[in-house]
Protein backbone atom coordinates (compact mmCIF):
# COMPACT_ATOMS: atom_id res chain seq x y z
CA UNK A 1 0.00 0.00 0.00
CA UNK A 2 1.16 3.60 -0.53
CA UNK A 3 2.27 5.74 2.38
CA UNK A 4 -0.68 7.30 4.22
CA UNK A 5 -1.91 10.76 3.32
CA UNK A 6 -2.71 13.48 5.84
CA UNK A 7 -6.37 12.47 5.62
CA UNK A 8 -5.43 8.83 6.23
CA UNK A 9 -3.54 9.82 9.37
CA UNK A 10 -6.44 11.90 10.70
CA UNK A 11 -8.81 8.98 10.13
CA UNK A 12 -6.50 6.56 11.96
CA UNK A 13 -7.12 7.99 15.45
CA UNK A 14 -8.58 5.29 17.68
CA UNK A 15 -7.77 2.39 15.38
CA UNK A 16 -6.14 -0.79 16.63
CA UNK A 17 -3.60 -3.00 14.87
CA UNK A 18 -3.11 -6.75 15.19
CA UNK A 19 -0.62 -8.13 17.69
CA UNK A 20 2.19 -10.36 16.45
CA UNK A 21 2.18 -13.42 18.70
CA UNK A 22 4.12 -16.33 17.20
CA UNK A 23 4.47 -19.80 18.69
CA UNK A 24 6.91 -20.28 20.29
CA UNK A 25 7.14 -16.73 21.57
CA UNK A 26 10.62 -15.86 22.84
CA UNK A 27 10.62 -12.06 23.07
CA UNK A 28 7.46 -9.96 23.37
CA UNK A 29 8.11 -6.27 22.67
CA UNK A 30 5.49 -3.96 24.16
CA UNK A 31 5.00 -0.47 22.74
CA UNK A 32 3.08 2.24 24.56
CA UNK A 33 0.37 2.59 21.89
CA UNK A 34 0.27 2.87 18.09
CA UNK A 35 0.88 6.23 16.51
CA UNK A 36 -1.39 7.50 13.75
CA UNK A 37 1.03 6.28 11.06
CA UNK A 38 0.87 2.78 12.54
CA UNK A 39 -2.89 3.03 12.79
CA UNK A 40 -3.14 4.00 9.14
CA UNK A 41 -0.81 1.27 7.85
CA UNK A 42 -1.62 -1.51 10.31
CA UNK A 43 2.08 -1.95 11.11
CA UNK A 44 3.88 -1.55 14.44
CA UNK A 45 6.51 1.22 14.75
CA UNK A 46 5.73 2.36 11.20
CA UNK A 47 6.31 6.10 11.43
CA UNK A 48 9.35 7.35 9.48
CA UNK A 49 12.02 8.38 11.95
CA UNK A 50 11.15 5.72 14.50
CA UNK A 51 14.36 3.81 15.28
CA UNK A 52 12.77 0.47 16.25
CA UNK A 53 13.44 -1.45 13.02
CA UNK A 54 16.92 0.04 12.45
CA UNK A 55 17.80 -0.87 16.05
CA UNK A 56 16.66 -4.48 15.60
CA UNK A 57 18.77 -4.75 12.46
CA UNK A 58 21.80 -3.07 14.04
CA UNK A 59 21.55 -5.45 17.00
CA UNK A 60 21.59 -8.45 14.69
CA UNK A 61 18.09 -9.49 15.75
CA UNK A 62 16.65 -9.29 12.21
CA UNK A 63 18.59 -10.39 9.14
CA UNK A 64 17.45 -7.40 7.06
CA UNK A 65 16.24 -3.87 7.69
CA UNK A 66 12.45 -3.96 7.82
CA UNK A 67 10.64 -0.99 6.28
CA UNK A 68 7.14 -0.78 7.76
CA UNK A 69 6.36 2.78 6.63
CA UNK A 70 3.79 1.54 4.09
CA UNK A 71 2.67 -1.50 6.10
CA UNK A 72 4.11 -4.83 7.22
CA UNK A 73 5.04 -7.10 4.31
CA UNK A 74 4.01 -10.76 4.81
CA UNK A 75 7.62 -11.86 4.45
CA UNK A 76 8.75 -9.45 7.16
CA UNK A 77 6.07 -10.67 9.53
CA UNK A 78 7.08 -14.27 8.78
CA UNK A 79 10.71 -13.39 9.55
CA UNK A 80 9.73 -12.06 12.98
CA UNK A 81 7.60 -15.10 13.70
CA UNK A 82 10.46 -17.40 12.68
CA UNK A 83 12.73 -15.99 15.40
CA UNK A 84 9.96 -15.87 18.00
CA UNK A 85 9.66 -12.08 18.23
CA UNK A 86 6.19 -10.73 19.03
CA UNK A 87 4.84 -7.19 19.31
CA UNK A 88 1.89 -5.75 21.22
CA UNK A 89 1.03 -2.46 22.96
CA UNK A 90 0.03 -1.41 26.45
CA UNK A 91 -2.86 0.59 24.98
CA UNK A 92 -4.40 -0.63 21.75
CA UNK A 93 -5.85 2.60 20.33
CA UNK A 94 -3.84 4.79 18.00
CA UNK A 95 -3.22 8.41 18.90
CA UNK A 96 -1.04 11.26 17.70
CA UNK A 97 1.02 11.25 20.91
CA UNK A 98 1.43 8.87 23.83
CA UNK A 99 0.74 11.71 26.28
CA UNK A 100 -2.88 11.67 25.08
CA UNK A 101 -3.40 8.45 27.03
CA UNK A 102 -4.94 8.52 30.48
CA UNK A 103 -3.44 6.86 33.54
CA UNK A 104 -6.51 4.62 33.71
CA UNK A 105 -5.96 3.45 30.11
CA UNK A 106 -2.31 2.65 30.74
CA UNK A 107 -3.09 0.71 33.94
CA UNK A 108 -5.87 -1.21 32.23
CA UNK A 109 -3.38 -2.00 29.47
CA UNK A 110 -0.89 -3.32 32.02
CA UNK A 111 -3.52 -5.71 33.35
CA UNK A 112 -4.35 -6.84 29.79
CA UNK A 113 -0.65 -7.35 29.08
CA UNK A 114 -0.31 -9.62 32.09
CA UNK A 115 -3.16 -11.77 30.76
CA UNK A 116 -1.57 -11.88 27.29
CA UNK A 117 1.77 -12.95 28.76
CA UNK A 118 0.09 -15.64 30.83
CA UNK A 119 -1.66 -17.00 27.75
CA UNK A 120 1.28 -16.91 25.31
CA UNK A 121 4.18 -17.49 27.74
CA UNK A 122 7.10 -15.59 26.20
CA UNK A 123 10.52 -16.03 27.77
CA UNK A 124 11.06 -12.26 27.97
CA UNK A 125 8.71 -9.26 27.95
CA UNK A 126 10.32 -5.95 26.97
CA UNK A 127 8.34 -2.75 27.51
CA UNK A 128 9.74 0.14 25.46
CA UNK A 129 9.14 3.21 27.58
CA UNK A 130 10.09 3.69 31.23
CA UNK A 131 7.38 6.30 31.91
CA UNK A 132 4.57 4.05 30.71
CA UNK A 133 5.96 1.16 32.73
CA UNK A 134 6.17 3.23 35.91
CA UNK A 135 2.58 4.41 35.44
CA UNK A 136 1.04 1.15 34.28
CA UNK A 137 2.62 -1.07 36.90
CA UNK A 138 2.75 1.48 39.73
CA UNK A 139 6.54 1.38 39.91
CA UNK A 140 7.44 5.10 40.18
CA UNK A 141 11.10 4.40 41.02
CA UNK A 142 11.72 1.71 38.38
CA UNK A 143 14.90 2.01 36.33
CA UNK A 144 15.53 0.76 32.78
CA UNK A 145 16.84 -2.74 32.17
CA UNK A 146 16.03 -6.10 33.73
CA UNK A 147 13.36 -5.70 36.42
CA UNK A 148 13.59 -7.51 39.76
CA UNK A 149 10.12 -9.03 39.33
CA UNK A 150 8.78 -11.26 36.56
CA UNK A 151 5.50 -10.74 34.72
CA UNK A 152 3.21 -13.79 34.65
CA UNK A 153 6.27 -16.04 34.63
CA UNK A 154 8.24 -14.11 31.99
CA UNK A 155 11.47 -12.22 32.57
CA UNK A 156 10.59 -8.51 32.51
CA UNK A 157 12.72 -5.78 30.93
CA UNK A 158 12.12 -2.07 30.39
CA UNK A 159 13.92 -0.69 27.33
CA UNK A 160 14.29 2.79 25.81
CA UNK A 161 11.52 4.16 23.63
CA UNK A 162 12.65 4.13 19.96
CA UNK A 163 10.57 7.17 19.00
CA UNK A 164 12.45 9.94 17.24
CA UNK A 165 11.22 12.22 20.05
CA UNK A 166 13.52 10.38 22.49
CA UNK A 167 16.62 12.42 21.79
CA UNK A 168 18.64 10.69 24.53
CA UNK A 169 18.97 7.52 22.44
CA UNK A 170 20.66 6.62 19.17
CA UNK A 171 20.23 3.59 16.94
CA UNK A 172 23.46 2.22 18.44
CA UNK A 173 22.34 2.65 22.07
CA UNK A 174 18.91 1.21 21.29
CA UNK A 175 20.57 -1.76 19.56
CA UNK A 176 22.67 -2.47 22.63
CA UNK A 177 19.63 -2.42 24.94
CA UNK A 178 17.41 -4.45 22.64
CA UNK A 179 20.19 -6.95 21.97
CA UNK A 180 20.56 -7.66 25.68
CA UNK A 181 16.86 -8.51 25.96
CA UNK A 182 17.05 -10.67 22.82
CA UNK A 183 19.98 -12.59 24.32
CA UNK A 184 17.98 -13.22 27.50
CA UNK A 185 15.10 -14.49 25.35
CA UNK A 186 17.33 -16.97 23.52
CA UNK A 187 17.19 -15.25 20.13
CA UNK A 188 20.35 -16.02 18.16
CA UNK A 189 21.72 -12.76 16.77
CA UNK A 190 23.83 -12.15 13.70
CA UNK A 191 27.44 -11.30 14.42
CA UNK A 192 28.26 -9.84 11.00
CA UNK A 193 28.44 -6.09 10.65
CA UNK A 194 25.64 -4.12 9.01
CA UNK A 195 24.97 -0.56 7.98
CA UNK A 196 22.17 1.61 9.31
CA UNK A 197 21.89 5.19 8.06
CA UNK A 198 25.32 4.89 6.51
CA UNK A 199 27.03 3.79 9.73
CA UNK A 200 28.57 0.39 10.21
CA UNK A 201 27.57 -1.58 13.28
CA UNK A 202 29.08 -4.69 14.73
CA UNK A 203 25.92 -6.78 14.96
CA UNK A 204 26.11 -7.41 18.70
CA UNK A 205 26.88 -3.81 19.64
CA UNK A 206 28.10 -0.60 18.09
Tell me if the pTM is above 0.75: yes
Domain boundaries along the sequence of the chain: 6-201
Interior CA angle at 109 toward 103 and 112, to 5°? 150
Return the pLDDT at 193.
Answer: 54
Say if domain 6-201 classifies as CATH 3.40.470.10.
Answer: yes
Average pLDDT over residues 54-78: 97
Chain centre to alpha carbon of residue 101: 18
Q: How confident is the model at residue 1 (pLDDT cuts 50, 70, 90)?
A: low
Residue 6 has a CB neighbour count (10 Å cut-off) of: 8
- Reported as half-sphere exposure (CB side, CA atoms, 13 A), residue 126 has a value of 27
* Nearest residue to 189 via CA among 197, 180, 199: 180
- pLDDT per position as a tens digit, 33-46: 999 999 999 999 99
Amino acid sequence: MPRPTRADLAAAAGRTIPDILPTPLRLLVVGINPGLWSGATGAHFARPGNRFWPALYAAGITDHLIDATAGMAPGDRAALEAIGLGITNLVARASARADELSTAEIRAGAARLERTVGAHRPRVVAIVGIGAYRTGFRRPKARPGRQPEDLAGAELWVLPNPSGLNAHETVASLAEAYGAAADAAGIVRRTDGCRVDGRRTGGLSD
